[in-house]
């Protein structure tokens, strides 16, 4: 029966455990094992008061090791900590999310939240967002400058506090106290410094002074859990257990940090229950000797008592050990569960338990009150109100000389606008300011806006920041020529054809910028035109006719380059060109085939079918290895659209075949610019005839890997001079 | 023509308001990306007393690319060739977008104070500078007097 109860308890079916234990107690004389099991089950059911009563009875009879109270402590902590208090909003202030104080040696983590260096190094994931920390970087120089400029005294105090913490860690409590004293002097209204000093004072066995600091900290911030925790520890050291329990519970209710408080609370509960029992008994009846008497008496008088399983003397000795302060008595429980068995009456509640109940009640009342308090960080740092001095120039990006927009911090601690840094990384993977390599940073693509700086911008320059956002958007639109429906950005590379795939490898900085802009604004389209005569004239010149490309997919490579899957769209003619941040833009007119006149339709149909057949025939002569290579890039030959004669670019298959036929770049451009379907068909036919005469096929495609277009271009086996562009490089 | 970036406006303003001692850089009336620069020959250098004209142009992708700078005044210097082209790392592979017109011109001024014949652009000058420094310095002074003074 008892085993069943244990099983139920182990499988967390606490209600069932309670029931079974209750039945157990009716059927057989209860042992301590049953009794504690019952108490634990009650506690885990949330019936804390009853549990407390049960434990109190045990305490009245035998010394109990504190460890035995772990379920009670857990239940209490869960009950209190589980209440839905609002999460602390460190973002309301400019503090470290970990220590909640003024940032000292601020380091921005990969999630964009900024911590004191010490604080960052002592945690694994972000308190503000939960993201796992990467390797920590260098001090964020901008954040440090702002903190020191805006809150000089607090910054100095924070430095003293962190230095004190280091001393504490090394065990130099005296020196730590000095630093904390300085911190308190510099920033007397920060509960953090007081709390840390309270800790040091306690270590120096000055609990009363410790309590004074803790109380002061609580007065400054009643809703700060740590302060209550410090108060609890000091009170416990002073032997004021009930108040200590109260303080610990308050701390848990606020911070929901049951792990750190569990041990303290177990100890305090233990002392309380022990002293509760002591109060019940006269001093003469206390102690191990009394325990022997009790047991002996019980044995004599109550016939249904179970006999202790071990020899009485041995037991007495252990009991004696247990009665002394048994915080570190780990063997206690083992003895306990198998040894002393006594009759215990669950109904006989000692009167003094009313006191324990009252404490519990008070704790719950306080927690209820705390629910209504808006939790705030320990230190409240507000940016300067005066707009004149604070950020003049400080919040400008060194690269664009404008107010930072989406500020990001590099691992080396330098802040730039997101887009400015992106552009720099297009050209070089070094930090513009300190030339540290950012290759790993670029590869990890972990750029996040620095929360601190963004909030600084929003609070001291809110209007300007909003305006900056608007102007950024406008620039983006302008830079892609989206204000004017016939203005486009041009990727100068090759001739692409309508509805034919055109894979691109984008590595030139200017095109990386252009493509990034397309993605940022959500316009997946840009123009492409062939580069002509560059070598001949020494100047860059691009074809008069080009095609719009629609981005279907992008693979971002670690070095910031990308591979684009695109497909051709409308054709255009360039009217005039301009330049934007290194890439070309153009004023264009879009082209469409001249409509087929009804009287021409029959002839055209005939021509179309003839050329298509020829095309098919030629395709079948292409070696299968080349066929599959071509199909991999351009797909199979498109089917004939039903309404092909009315399409603005005619039937797709003509473009597909033009893309794979070995035509020279000039010829490709010329055909692209033709608005007569008939002329285009004839050009195809002529090429096919020409090839048939000379029994030519397309150039072999020797590449194993799509990105080696350069090798294809220089391939000698190319027959007409123009290779199959498997993938174009920017 | 796109609007002048804020960066260039700011730099120009600062060059006007807080000019670098010994350097003047004035944007052209018609092209705000083109600067007329005058660098004073540094003291205790063979170029002392000379006023050297340079032209500086900010390309479309400045500050991602370095400014283009060239001496207009003839100068006898191992790192500056006959066409006035300057061999200076920050104008080439060591360029960083965090550098500015101001820092570039300061570096050029420093280059006048400390010629580096081991990384030459004008080979004949560099050679003489290494073999017979006093003669090279004499030449430099002579050129300074002839081309960089009283005009």
Contact A395, A461 (CB under 8 A): yes
Residues of chain A found within 8 Å of residue B1, distances taken between Cβ atoms: 578
- Give the 3-state secondary structure of residue A324: coil
d(CA B71, CA B74): 7
Contact A426 B64 (CB under 8 A): yes
Chain position carrying tokens 């002592």 = A122
**Could you give phi then psi for residue A97, rounded to 5 degrees?**
-65, -20
For A430, which residue in chain B has the nearest alpha carbon?
B96
Contact A400 B5 (CB under 8 A): yes
Query: What is the C-alpha end-to-end distance of chain A, expressed in Å?
Result: 79
Q: Give the pair of three-digit tokens for residue A378.
A: 């320990």
CA A730 to chain centre: 34
Residue A708 scores a pLDDT above 50: no
Residue B29 scores a pLDDT above 90: yes
Residues 6 or more apart whose CB falls under 8 angstroms from that of A82 comprise none
Q: How far is B11 from chain A (nearest CA, A)?
A: 9
Helix, strand, coil shares, percent, chain A, to 5: 55, 10, 35
Q: Taking residues A133-150, report their average pLDDT.
A: 91
Contact A580 B6 (CB under 8 A): no
Query: B18-48: b or e for each residue (b if 16 or more CB lie within 10 Å)?
Result: eebebbbbebeeeeebebebbbbbbeebbbe
Q: Is pLDDT larger for residue B72 or for residue A57? A: B72
Q: Give the pair of three-digit tokens for residue B123.
A: 């080979």
Contact B64 A578 (CB under 8 A): no
Residue A527 scores a pLDDT above 90: yes
Average pLDDT value for chain A: 79
The pLDDT-based confidence of B72 (bands split at 50, 70, 90) is very high
Count how many Cα atoms sit within 13 Å of the Cα of residue A339 in the half-sphere of its side chain: 22
ipTM: 0.88
Domain definitions of chain B by residue range: 6-148
Residue B151 scores a pLDDT above 70: no
Q: What is the pLDDT at residue A534?
A: 57
Residues of chain B found within 8 Å of residue A426, distances taken between Cβ atoms: 64
Q: What is the pLDDT at residue A680?
A: 93
Indicate the helix (H) or strand (E) that contains A588: strand A583-591
Q: Count H helices, E strands: chain A? A: 30, 11
d(CA A398, CA A707): 36
Residues 6 or more apart whose CB falls under 8 angstroms from that of A550 comprise A524, A525, A566, A567, A568, A569
d(CA A570, CA A588): 11
- Put simply, whether B13 touches A (Cβ < 8 Å) is no
Asked whether the bond before B63 is cis by omega within 30 degrees of 0, the reply is: yes
Residue A42 scores a pLDDT above 70: yes
Q: How far is B93 from chain A (nearest CA, A)?
A: 10
Q: What is the pLDDT at residue A294?
A: 41
**Could you give phi then psi for residue A359, rounded to 5 degrees?**
-65, -45
Contact A191, A227 (CB under 8 A): yes
Max CA distance (Å), chain B: 51
Out of A91-95, A438-442, A615-619, A719-723, pick the least confident.
Answer: A719-723
Contact A224, A378 (CB under 8 A): yes
- Give the 3-state secondary structure of residue B85: strand
Q: Give the pair of three-digit tokens for residue A352.
A: 């003094």
Residues of chain A found within 8 Å of residue B61, distances taken between Cβ atoms: 509-510, 581-582
Q: What percent of chain A has pLDDT over 90?
A: 34
Contact B97 A432 (CB under 8 A): yes
Q: Taking residues A176-202, report their average pLDDT.
A: 93
The pLDDT-based confidence of A328 (bands split at 50, 70, 90) is very low
Q: What is the pLDDT at residue A495?
A: 92
Residue A273 scores a pLDDT above 60: yes
Q: Encode pLDDT of A421-466 as tens digits.
A: 999 988 888 999 998 999 888 887 778 999 999 998 988 888 889 9
Contact A195, A164 (CB under 8 A): no
Q: E strands, A221-293, where?
A: none
Q: What is the pLDDT at residue A205?
A: 92
Contact A361, A80 (CB under 8 A): no
The full length of chain A comes to 730
Contact A582 B60 (CB under 8 A): yes
Q: Encode pLDDT of A662-695 as tens digits.
A: 888 889 999 999 999 999 999 999 999 888 887 6
Residue A306 scores a pLDDT above 60: no
| Contact pairs from chain A to chain B, CB under 8 Å | 48
Q: Give the pair of three-digit tokens for residue A507.
A: 């590595």
Q: Taking residues A88-105, report their average pLDDT.
A: 81
Residues of chain B found within 8 Å of residue A580, distances taken between Cβ atoms: 2, 60
Contact A400 B6 (CB under 8 A): yes
Q: What is the pLDDT at residue A723?
A: 37
Q: Is B123 exposed, middle or buried (0-12, 13-18, 19+ CB in 10 A)?
A: exposed
- Put simply, whether B61 touches A (Cβ < 8 Å) is yes
d(CA B112, CA B106): 10
How many CB atoms sit inside 10 A of residue A612's CB? Answer: 18
Question: Which residues of B are annotated as catalytic?
Answer: 87
Chain B interface, best mutation among A415, A420, A425, A432, by max B CB count within 10 A: A432
Residues of chain A found within 8 Å of residue B63, distances taken between Cβ atoms: 399
d(CA A575, CA A332): 93
Chain A interface, best mutation among B97, B101, B102, by max A CB count within 10 A: B97
Write the DSSP assignment of B8-69 as a string of letters. HHHHHHHHHHSPPTTEEEEE-SS-TTEEEEEEEPPTTSTTTT-EEEEEEE--TTTTTSPPEE
Residues 6 or more apart whose CB falls under 8 angstroms from that of A430 comprise A436, A437, A438, B96
CATH of domain B6-148: 3.10.110.10
The pLDDT-based confidence of A727 (bands split at 50, 70, 90) is low
Q: Taking residues A270-281, report their average pLDDT.
A: 68
Q: Taking residues A605-628, report their average pLDDT.
A: 91
Indicate the helix (H) or strand (E) that contains A210: helix A207-220
**Cβ-based interface (< 8 Å): residues of A facing B:** 398-402, 420, 423-424, 426-428, 430, 432-433, 435, 478, 509-510, 578-582
CA-based radius of gyration for chain A? 40
d(CA A422, CA A259): 43
The pLDDT-based confidence of A563 (bands split at 50, 70, 90) is very high
Q: What is the pLDDT at residue A540?
A: 61
d(CA A286, CA A374): 48
Contact B63 A398 (CB under 8 A): no
Q: What is the pLDDT at residue A308?
A: 36
Q: What is the pLDDT at residue B70?
A: 95
Q: Select, from the ranges A127-131, A178-182, A507-511, the one with the highest average predicted confidence (pLDDT).
A: A178-182
Q: Encode pLDDT of A329-382 as tens digits.
A: 444 444 444 444 444 444 444 556 777 788 778 877 877 777 666 666 667 777
Residues of chain B found within 8 Å of residue A512, distances taken between Cβ atoms: none
Q: What is the pLDDT at residue A259?
A: 72
Out of A292-296, A365-369, B5-9, pick the least confident.
Answer: A292-296
d(CA A90, CA A99): 10
Domain definitions of chain A by residue range: 2-64+287-349, 472-591, 598-727
- Give the 3-state secondary structure of residue A721: coil
One of 1.10.443.10, 3.40.50.1970, 3.30.450.370, 2.30.130.40 is the CATH number of A472-591, namely 2.30.130.40
Q: How far is A398 from chain B (nearest CA, A)?
A: 7
Considering only the beta carbons, identify the residue of B1, B7, B65 that sits closest to A401. B7
Considering only the beta carbons, identify the residue of B1, B61, B63 that sits closest to A510. B61
Q: What is the pLDDT at residue A579?
A: 85
d(CA A586, CA A568): 18
Q: Is pLDDT larger for residue A1 or for residue B42? A: B42
Give one word for A606, left, alpha or beta, with left for phi > 0 and alpha for psi -120 to 50: alpha
Contact B64 A427 (CB under 8 A): yes
For B64, which residue in chain A has the nearest alpha carbon?
A424
d(CA A660, CA A688): 12
Contact B60 A427 (CB under 8 A): no
């Amino acid at each position: 029966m008892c085993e069943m109860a244990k099983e139920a308890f182990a499988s967390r079916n606490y209600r069932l455990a309670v029931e079974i234990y209750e039945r157990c107690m009716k059927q057989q004389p209860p042992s301590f094992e049953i009794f504690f099991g019952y108490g634990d089950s009650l506690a885990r059911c949330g019936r804390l008061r009853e549990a407390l009563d049960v434990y109190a009875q045990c305490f009245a009879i035998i010394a109990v090791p504190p460890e035995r109270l772990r379920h009670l402590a857990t239940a209490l902590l869960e009950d209190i900590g589980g209440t839905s208090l609002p999460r602390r909003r460190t973002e309301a202030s400019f503090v470290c999310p970990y220590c909640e104080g003024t940032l000292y040696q601020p380091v921005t983590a990969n999630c964009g939240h900024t911590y004191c260096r010490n604080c960052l190094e002592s945690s694994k994931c972000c308190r503000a967002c939960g993201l796992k920390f990467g390797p920590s970087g260098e001090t964020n120089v901008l954040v440090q400058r702002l903190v020191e400029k805006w809150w000089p005294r607090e910054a100095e105090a924070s430095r003293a506090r962190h230095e004190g913490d280091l001393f504490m860690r090394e065990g130099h409590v005296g020196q730590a106290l000095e630093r904390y004293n300085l911190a308190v002097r510099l920033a007397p209204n920060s509960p953090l410094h007081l709390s840390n000093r309270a800790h040091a004072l306690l270590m120096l066995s000055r609990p009363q002074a410790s309590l004074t600091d803790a109380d002061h900290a609580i007065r400054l911030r009643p809703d700060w859990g740590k302060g209550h925790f410090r108060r609890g520890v000091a009170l416990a050291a002073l032997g004021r257990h009930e108040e200590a329990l109260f303080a610990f519970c308050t701390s848990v209710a606020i911070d929901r940090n049951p792990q750190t408080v569990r041990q303290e609370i177990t100890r305090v509960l233990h002392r309380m229950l022990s002293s509760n029992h002591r109060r019940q008994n006269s001093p003469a009846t206390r102690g191990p000797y009394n325990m022997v008497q009790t047991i002996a008496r019980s044995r004599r008088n109550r016939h249904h008592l179970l006999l202790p399983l071990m020899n009485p003397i041995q037991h007495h000795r252990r009991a004696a050990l247990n009665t002394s302060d048994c915080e570190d008595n780990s063997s206690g429980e083992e003895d306990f569960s198998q040894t002393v068995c006594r009759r215990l009456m669950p109904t006989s509640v000692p009167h003094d338990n009313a006191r324990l109940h009252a404490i519990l009640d008070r704790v719950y009342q306080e927690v209820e009150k705390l629910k209504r308090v808006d939790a705030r960080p320990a230190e409240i740092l507000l940016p300067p109100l005066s707009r004149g001095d604070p950020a003049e120039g400080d919040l400008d990006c060194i690269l664009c000389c404008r107010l930072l927009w989406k500020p990001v911090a590099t691992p080396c601690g330098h802040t730039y606008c997101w887009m400015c840094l992106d552009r720099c990384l297009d050209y070089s993977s070094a930090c513009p300011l300190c030339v540290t390599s950012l290759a790993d940073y670029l590869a990890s693509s972990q750029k996040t806006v620095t929360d601190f700086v963004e909030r600084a911008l929003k609070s001291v320059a809110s209007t300007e920041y909003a305006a900056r956002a608007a102007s950024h958007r406008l620039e983006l639109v302008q830079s892609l020529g989206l204000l004017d429906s016939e203005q486009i950005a041009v990727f100068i590379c090759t001739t692409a054809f309508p509805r034919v795939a055109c894979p691109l490898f984008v590595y030139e900085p200017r095109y990386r910028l252009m493509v990034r802009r397309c993605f940022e604004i959500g316009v997946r389209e840009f123009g492409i035109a062939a580069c002509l005569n560059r070598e001949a004239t020494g100047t860059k010149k691009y074809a008069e006719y080009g095609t719009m490309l629609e981005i279907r997919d992008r693979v971002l490579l670690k070095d910031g380059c990308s591979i684009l899957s695109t497909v051709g769209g409308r054709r255009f003619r360039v009217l005039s060109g301009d330049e934007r941040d290194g890439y070309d833009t153009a004023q264009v007119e879009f082209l469409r085939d001249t409509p087929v006149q009804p009287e021409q339709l029959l002839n055209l149909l005939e021509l179309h079918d003839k050329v298509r057949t020829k095309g098919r025939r030629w395709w079948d002569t292409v070696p299968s290895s080349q066929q599959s290579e071509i199909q991999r890039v351009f797909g199979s030959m498109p089917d004939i659209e039903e309404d092909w004669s009315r399409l603005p670019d005619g039937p797709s298959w003509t473009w597909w075949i033009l893309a794979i036929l070995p035509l020279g770049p000039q010829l490709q451009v010329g055909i692209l610019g033709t608005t007569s379907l008939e002329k285009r068909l004839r050009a195809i036919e002529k090429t096919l005839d020409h090839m048939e005469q000379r029994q030519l096929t397309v150039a072999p495609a020797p590449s194993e890997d799509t990105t080696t277009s350069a090798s294809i271009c220089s391939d000698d086996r190319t027959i007409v001079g123009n290779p199959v562009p498997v993938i174009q490089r920017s | 023509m796109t609007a002048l970036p804020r960066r260039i406006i700011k730099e120009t303003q600062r060059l006007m308001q807080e000019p670098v001692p010994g350097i003047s850089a004035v944007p052209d009336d018609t092209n705000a990306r083109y600067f007329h620069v005058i660098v004073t020959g540094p003291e205790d250098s063979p170029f002392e007393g000379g006023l050297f004209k340079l032209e500086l142009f900010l390309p479309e992708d400045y500050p991602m690319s370095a400014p283009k700078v060239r001496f207009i005044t003839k100068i006898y210097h191992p790192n500056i060739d006959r066409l006035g082209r300057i061999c200076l790392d920050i104008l080439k592979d060591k360029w960083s977008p965090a550098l500015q017109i101001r820092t570039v011109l300061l570096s050029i001024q420093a280059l006048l104070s400390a010629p580096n014949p081991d990384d030459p652009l004008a080979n004949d000058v560099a050679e003489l500078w290494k073999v017979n420094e006093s003669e090279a310095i004499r030449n430099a002074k002579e050129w300074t007097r002839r081309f960089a003074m009283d005009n």
